[in-house]
Amino acid sequence: MATPRPELLSPDEDEEESARGLLYEAYNELQRLAAELGGAAVPVPAVVVVGHQTDGKSALVEALMGFQFNHVGGGTKTRRPIALHLRFNPRCHSPNCRLLAGSGEGDAEDDAGAADRSMLLADIQAYIEAENKRLENDPSQFSAKEIIIRIEYKHCPNLTIIDTPGLILAAPGRKNRVLQSQACAVEALVHAKIHHKETIILCLEDCSDWSNATTRRVVMQVDPDLVRTVLVSTKLDTKIPQFARASDVEVFLHPPTCVLDGSLLGDFPFFTSVPSGRVGSCHEAVFRSNEEELDDVTSLEDKLGRSLTREEKNRIGVSNLRLFLEELLQNRYIESVPSIIPLLEKEHRAASRKLRKVTQEISDLDEAKLKEKARLFHDSFLTKLSLLLKGMVVAPPDKFGETSVNERINGGTFTGSENFQLPNKMMPNAGMRLYGGAQYHRAMAEFRLVVGSIKCPLITREEIVNACGVEDIHDGTNYSRTACVIAVAKARDTFEPFLHQLSFRLLYILKRLSPISVFLLEKDGEHFSSHDVLVKRVQAAFNRFAESTEQSCRERCMEDLESTTRYVTWSLHNKNRAGLRHFLDSFVAPEQLCANTYTAHSAGLHEQSTGLNDSKQDRPKGELKSSHTSDSNPSGGVSETRLVDLLDSMLWNRRLAPSSERLVYALVHQIFHGIKEHFLVTTELKFNCFLLMPIVDKLAALLREDLESAFEDDLDSIFSVTQLRRSLGQKKRELEIELKQMKRLKEKFTEINKKLNCLQVRQQA
């Protein structure tokens, strides 16, 4: 029960009571305004109740209120915080409830009808039940948006209480993952409600040993010294019989400083015994008021063997807790008044600036100014786009940058027919979050690395035989043609996928420039958020230009690849002839080397027999001729045999010899790498010339042409003038209402501050 108010008050007491009533009304309106605006720019002191599901949290809240309000029982009965503005009114013999605006979150039509009007207590209970059921079936399970209720009643204290969902102690294990996620969600919600410094935390602990900090564990993460926390031990009547010795009761009533230090709000914990039956005037209530609670003082005195001191008695029972909280919150209200006035002035100035800006935007909704704004956006967009390509650090890399891993996930990887990929550590700047021209350059460097490291694919004997075929004039084999056929086919199959992958990757990187440019414009204060249609139109035109330019560039590169892989030009495809010669020399047969050595050795012996001092000039021509004839005769048979063998293996015989296989592989290898070098150079050059450069020198004209054509067709298609005028008008009306509310609140708090200062001066006098 609230402390009885005297019937007759002195003039000073009457003025003080009037000032307090005005103070409560002002804070109620302030909290309501904060809820409507979707934030708490001006913090409001309140008591936030925190406890686990089995700590008797909702029952204690009802005992503080003085009547039954919400469902009490096992499980989760509160899924949204409930902000209760309780006001003592001796004329209200039954609770007068009002659901305030800003409470709704579910069905908008239902909320609009329920909010900001007087309702029966049963209707509010039904509304809360419906919200709990809705959230029970919702994936989020819980909501941080408060249900705001104002209650006047003769048994209510002057308190603002926020009842939060009960904390959950989930069991470990994978099968309890759903309950564990709900526990984390509730804990995060509670942290959000108690992190304001003006908040008074009512921490409920259902334990007989203060070493067990179940709820305090959560509270101390936000308030580590408990300077804003009132600690309450619930269910005292069930704990008293558990103590066997008086010393145990002493430790329970006076926790040692090693467990609870002296910084606790109120110095020591409070102890309550909420009746097991419901409190209220309904037919199922067992107790009509909190005065009918069990007399825990007598039980404690029997256990202790002594009488309780006045300080100890003041910490036992719901009524004492309620008086303490009411006085504490009242002092917080009074202390916060001087600081709230400048905060309201600051919010009033911010709302005034917004209103002036909206008014200016409405006045700018004529055709000439809109066209000028569109052209300004066009020029600014192109400027930011050019700066992004040239390089800048204004856009945050953590928001817009991408590492090589992220880029491959979104823009595709460079993967050939054999799924070959280089390790990430070999890529330049792979771990850096890049955008714009730096990201474009890294992608091109990765393309060069990947394609440049590709080796000539393996060639099978079957491929060589199939590539030989039959000539149109003879049935011999032409291994140079065979090598060309194999090389161009392998090159086409290998390099064409990389061309498409590079094209897709670079297009993705260029399309990322558009949202980054818009962000940079907003950061520079060039706001175009209200002209969403214009921004989307310019972005769509840029994307179309990038796509068409990419397609044209890719077709040019495909023409080069087709020409390179259709006709072999030896001056182009066989650049490294020294490498080819070295490659062929390694395949010379050992028997051929022996034959060459034998021929040279025979010729040397013959020269020695003719005389070491004789020269060819001194010999007669006939002798030279006969000598030449006689010298060539021993090796003539060997040379003719080798020539016949070579023709047999390279021209007439279809049975693939090792030497023929090596020769074909050497030629294919040389042609393939010649195509690869040409492909790398021409592809990079064409993408730079026909994809990157058109954005620099052709995009501006195309975007301007698109805008001018839209001006001629319909200006509303760019700016959506009708919808924009309607939305700006609605925003202007909301800001005007907000300004009136803030002005009224500022005047109220100024008046309250003056009254409180006058009362303080009188009391000091």
Which helix (H) or strand (E) segment holds residue 63: the answer is helix 57-65
Q: Does pLDDT of 70 surpass 90?
A: no
Tell me the per-residue pLDDT of 563-580, one tens digit each, with 9 for 90 and over.
Answer: 989 888 877 666 555 555
Phi/psi at 576 (5° precision): -100, 80
Nearest 5°: the CA angle 412, 413, 419 is: 135
Tell me the per-residue pLDDT of 184-215, one tens digit each, with 9 for 90 and over.
Answer: 888 888 998 888 888 889 999 888 888 888 88
Which helix (H) or strand (E) segment holds residue 399: the answer is helix 397-400
Amino acid at 647: L
Give mean pLDDT, residues 215-223. Answer: 89
Q: How far apart are the first and last CA of the chain?
A: 34
DSSP string, 433-467: -B-THHHHHHHHHHHHHHHHTPPPPP--HHHHHHH
Where residue 636 falls among pLDDT bands split at 50, 70, 90?
low
Give mean pLDDT, residues 640-666. Answer: 67
Nearest 5°: the CA angle 58, 62, 65 is: 140
287-301, 403-417, 458-472, 705-719: least confidently modelled range:
287-301
Give mean pLDDT, residues 13-19. Answer: 59
Which helix (H) or strand (E) segment holds residue 749: the answer is helix 721-764
Top-confidence range, 267-281, 289-303, 555-569, 661-675:
555-569
Rounded-to-integer distance, Cα 72 and Cα 57, Å: 9
- Give the Cβ contact number of residue 588 at 10 Å: 12
CB-based burial label for 395 (10 Å; 0-12, 13-18, 19+): buried
Contacts of 119 (CB under 8 A, 6+ apart): 97, 98, 99, 127
Rounded-to-integer distance, Cα 512 and Cα 397, Å: 13
Determine the pLDDT at residue 506.
96
Determine the pLDDT at residue 2.
42
Q: Does pLDDT of 288 surpass 60?
A: no
Q: Does pLDDT of 597 surpass 50?
A: no
Q: Does pLDDT of 33 surpass 70?
A: no
Determine the pLDDT at residue 528.
62
> β-strand 285-287 against 270-271: which pairing, if any?
unpaired
49-58, 438-447, 602-611: least confidently modelled range:
602-611
Which helix (H) or strand (E) segment holds residue 624: the answer is helix 621-647
Determine the pLDDT at residue 615.
43
Determine the pLDDT at residue 309.
87
Where residue 419 falls among pLDDT bands split at 50, 70, 90?
low
Give mean pLDDT, residues 436-442. Answer: 94
Contacts of 482 (CB under 8 A, 6+ apart): 464, 467, 468, 664
Determine the pLDDT at residue 501.
94
Give mean pLDDT, residues 148-165. Answer: 82
3-state secondary structure 462-515: HHHHHHHCCCCCCCCCCHHHHHHHHHHHHHHHHHHHHHHHHHHHHHHHHHCHHH
Give mean pLDDT, residues 491-504. Answer: 93
Task: Pick the closest to residue 166 from 322, 58, 274, 277 (CA basis).
Answer: 58
Determine the pLDDT at residue 113.
41
Contacts of 738 (CB under 8 A, 6+ apart): 33, 37, 351
384 vs 116, residue with greater confidence: 384
pTM (2 decimals)? 0.54
- With pLDDT > 90 as the criterion, what percentage of the chain qualifies? 16
Sketch the domain layout of the chain as residue ranges: 43-103+114-316, 370-457+495-567+677-719
Q: Does pLDDT of 222 surpass 50?
A: yes
Cross-strand bridge partners of residue 579: none
116-130, 541-555, 693-707: least confidently modelled range:
116-130
- With pLDDT > 70 as the criterion, what percentage of the chain qualifies? 72
Q: Does pLDDT of 320 surpass 60?
A: yes
Which helix (H) or strand (E) segment holds residue 686: the answer is helix 658-687
553 vs 46, residue with greater confidence: 553
Q: Are 120 and 97 in contact (CB under 8 A)?
A: yes
Give mean pLDDT, residues 360-389. Answer: 82
CB-based burial label for 761 (10 Å; 0-12, 13-18, 19+): exposed
Rounded-to-integer distance, Cα 176 and Cα 182, Å: 10
Give mean pLDDT, residues 136-164. Answer: 81
5-40 b/e with 16+ CB inside 10 Å = b?
eeeeeeeeeeebeebbebbbebbbebbbbbbbbeee
Task: Pick the closest to residue 280 from 553, 95, 57 (CA basis).
Answer: 95
Which two tokens mark 570?
A: 């030896």
Determine the pLDDT at residue 293.
55
Say how many CA atoms lie within 13 Å of 761 toward its Cβ: 6
> β-strand 96-99 against 147-153: which pairing, if any?
antiparallel
Q: Does pLDDT of 581 surpass 60?
A: no
User: Which sign does the torsion angle of CA 316, 319, 323, 325 carry?
Assistant: positive
Rounded-to-integer distance, Cα 656 and Cα 467, Å: 12
Q: Which CATH architecture has domain 43-103+114-316?
A: 3-Layer(aba) Sandwich (3.40)
Torsion of CA 683, 688, 691, 694, to 10 degrees: -150
Q: Are 710 and 718 in contact (CB under 8 A)?
A: yes
User: Which sign does the torsion angle of CA 545, 550, 553, 559 carry?
Assistant: negative
Classify residue 307 by its DSSP letter.
P
Determine the pLDDT at residue 39.
47
Whose tokens are 């990887």? That residue is 413
Q: Does pLDDT of 612 surpass 60?
A: no
Q: Does pLDDT of 367 surpass 50?
A: yes
Q: Does pLDDT of 111 surpass 80?
A: no
Rounded-to-integer distance, Cα 432 and Cα 477, Å: 55
Which two tokens mark 187?
A: 């804990």
Where residue 176 falls among pLDDT bands split at 50, 70, 90?
confident
Distances (CA, A) of 578 to 172, 463, 525, 555, 665: 71, 27, 64, 35, 16
Say how many CA atoms lie within 13 Å of 18 toward its Cβ: 11
What's the chain's average pLDDT? 76
Determine the pLDDT at residue 46.
83
Rounded-to-integer distance, Cα 689 and Cα 439, Å: 17
Give mean pLDDT, residues 691-716. Answer: 81
Task: Pick the closest to residue 218 from 389, 333, 49 (CA basis).
Answer: 49
Q: Does pLDDT of 652 surpass 70?
A: no
Top-confidence range, 82-91, 561-570, 652-661, 754-763:
561-570
Q: Does pLDDT of 183 surpass 60?
A: yes
